[in-house]
Amino acid sequence: MASRTVKTVDVDAGLLAETRDALKPSAGAADDEVVERALRAYLGRRALDASQAASELSEEDALRIANEELHAMRRERRSAA
């Protein structure tokens, strides 16, 4: 589990409510969980954008290669078992 650090930040209440709404399903989540999810969403989207920007594949090739690697991983998993 990732280590946790206690930080105190001031967050605009309206912005936090909007974020909570945008990150459904997060009803009932604590404020710190909402903030963490917002940060993960930002970082995840940025990572996706960076990865896609580096792509030189067609849609068909990307799908084919992904499926081939998924099945290769399963074969390896079976062998290891």
Partner 1 sequence: MTQVVIDPGVLVSAFISPKKAAPALLVDAVFDGHLDVLACPALIAELTDVLGCKKFAKHSADGRATAFIAAFRDRATMTPDPPPGSVKTADPEDDYLLALAEKHDADAVVSGDPHLLDAATSELAVLTPRELAYHLGFVSTRIPANAYEIRIVESPLAGRAIRPYWASRAQLPTGPTAIGIQNWDFFDGAIVGVAIADPNRLTIYGSGVMVAPGVVLTASHSVNEYYDAVRARERQLHCIAIRQDGRAELWTLRRWIWPETKSDISFLNVELCTAAPEGWSCACLPISTRAPAVGETVSVIGFRFDVPGARGPLGTIGDAPIISQGGLYVATGQVQKLWYPQRDPIRISFPAIQIGCSTLGGMSGGPVLDQAGNVIGILSTGMETLEGDESYAAWILHAFMFKLGLVWPPGLYSESATLLDLPDTLVRIVGRNKVELTSDQEIVYEYWH
Query: Which distant-in-sequence residues (6+ apart) come within 8 Å of 20 by Cβ?
Result: 26, 27, 29, 34
Question: In angstroms, rounded to a whole number, what is the distance separating the alpha carbons of residues 77 and 4?
Answer: 33
Q: Which member of 51, 79, 80, 81 binds partner 1 (CB under 8 A)? A: 51
Residue 7 is a binding residue for partner 1 (CB under 8 A): no
Q: Which member of 77, 79, 80, 81 binds partner 1 (CB under 8 A)? A: 77
Helices and strands in the chain: count of H runs, count of E runs: 3, 0
Phi, psi angle pair for 6, to nearest 5°: -90, 120
Q: Which member of 3, 5, 12, 25 binds partner 1 (CB under 8 A)? A: 25
Residue 31 is a binding residue for partner 1 (CB under 8 A): no
Contact positions toward partner 1, by CB under 8 A?
Answer: 22-25, 37, 40-41, 43-55, 57-67, 69-74, 77
